[in-house]
Amino acid sequence: MAKPVVLVVMDGVGWTEKDMGNAVKHAYKPQIEELMTKWPHTTIKASGTAVGLPSDSDMGNSEVGHNALGCGQIYSQGAKLVNESIESGKIYESSAWKGAVSFAKEHGGKMHFIGLLSDGNVHSNISHLIAMIKEAKKEGIREVRVHALMDGRDVPETSGLQYVEQLEAVFKELNDGDFHGCIASGGGRMTVTMDRYEADWSMVEKGWHIHVMGDGRMFGSATEAIETLRKEGGYTDQYLPGFVIGENGVPAGTIDDGDSVILYNFRGDRAVEISKAFDYMNKGFDKFEMPKKPNVFYAGMLQYDGDLKLPDNFLVEPPHIEHTMSEFLVNKGVRSFACSETQKFGHVTYFWNGNRSEKFSDELEDWVEVPSDIIPFDLKPWMKATEVTDLMVEAIESGKYQFLRCNYPNGDMVGHTGNYEATIIGVESVDLNLRRVMDACRKMDYTLIVTADHGNSDEMYDKGTNPDGSPKPKTSHSLAVVPFAIYNGPEGTEVKEGDFGLANVAATVVQLLGYEKPEEWLEAIIK
């Protein structure tokens, strides 16, 4: 009964009944509708604990999603991964941490920490910051400066002072004749530094002036800054204007030549742009003018963008993933094919294979990349879906492969633009091409699995409206479950009832191929 399997990942296509801004629901998608009504189907989790993130309020992403799809297991990601690295001390053995410490010591420089000051555990955790400050002193760093971004979004909206007090108490305990640490600057997360998806580079520019140059309104302490700005403008924490801490017009801690800088946020979306500013400042960076470009050692808590390899230095390695599906299939002699366009090619290869750049077998694994156009995705929302489909159909009809996979990036990449109308076209482009893949699978009698790696295009509007009354675009991922359907499966294929996630897909694939799953994997979604 077993036969070859094709797996299609519709990137960023969540499945929800929410109506407002749901480009998936309102797209014309007869193929997806057929799959989710006439064939064995269900929905599966693609965020939170189902993909190794700390809580179910944490949105999934393509990297952790493809890790889970490709290995059949749930590995710690994000905050959970950082917690484990700090508790074990492994973080301090990383080349990035050692590089930051040695660079500052060799140049007589300061060590700076930039990040969200709270215990919201969505972007950061103050406990991570405190642990690293203590370790920095232990390793001989003499000057530490914190550039504290106020939260008020993942924690109560005016709770910032309690975190300032907590941090200042730590400095009071640590400061002595050999060490001095303090808060040097700050501002609200929605005002400075933490922009995402290049929505407003001026936020990062403001952060550069505040943190790097000490160019901003000066206060004697962070407490004074927060209390004064709240009183003057009625701001909640996330909207506080940027501020500098100093005395007699002298900033407490600008970022200068010979300093080390660590961004201690672990979530990537609001860490990418400031990381680009530091990593690319001398490599043709043109998003804003930089009156000051200090020679520093910069590191992120994690690598925030696996495709861009950004930043160059990061403290916590991705999880060490073992027992991947690719390795299992190679050991069984199964020949496989992987394809996507540039935007997601790394996800069906590197992340799929457990953060491994190399193939397990050059003989049995074929990878084909379709170069993405260098153009805003909402201007060409069909992207390279047709070209990817051409390759998939050719590979299926060749009869050479027992397992084939591809990723259509449209729902995610166009979704990130915030353009609702273009995203509908992106989803429809994927659906249109699915017909050709379905027909090829029926012709060759292959089983087809269609799913997604996380939500995005299903939630294109944020809360609130623009000044003109129009909906406010939402460019981030969503917490939606994702579709899962099996087309042209072996006779009697039936989806089980249960609480399944992306990590259950691997066992489903190998069961359809006629193999028993490794004991390390989660169970299959089918009976």
Report, as residue numbers or ranges, the catalytic residues.
62
Tokens 């920095």: give the residue.
136
Q: Which of 228, 263, 250, 301 is nearest to 149 (CA)?
A: 263
Dihedrals phi, psi of 147, to nearest 5 degrees: -110, 100
How are beta strands 41-44 and 482-487 bridged, if at all?
A: antiparallel
Dihedral sign for Cα atoms in the order 134, 136, 138, 142: negative
Q: How far apart are CA 218 and CA 224, in angstroms?
A: 10
For residue 285, the one-letter residue type is: F
Dihedral sign for Cα atoms in the order 117, 123, 128, 129: negative
Residues in a beta bridge with 367: 338
Torsional class of 64: left (φ above 0), alpha (ψ -120 to 50), beta (otherwise): alpha
3-state secondary structure of 211: helix
Tally Cβ neighbours within 10 Å of residue 167: 22
Q: How far apart are CA 496 and CA 492, in angstroms?
A: 12
Q: How far apart are CA 350 and CA 343, in angstroms?
A: 13
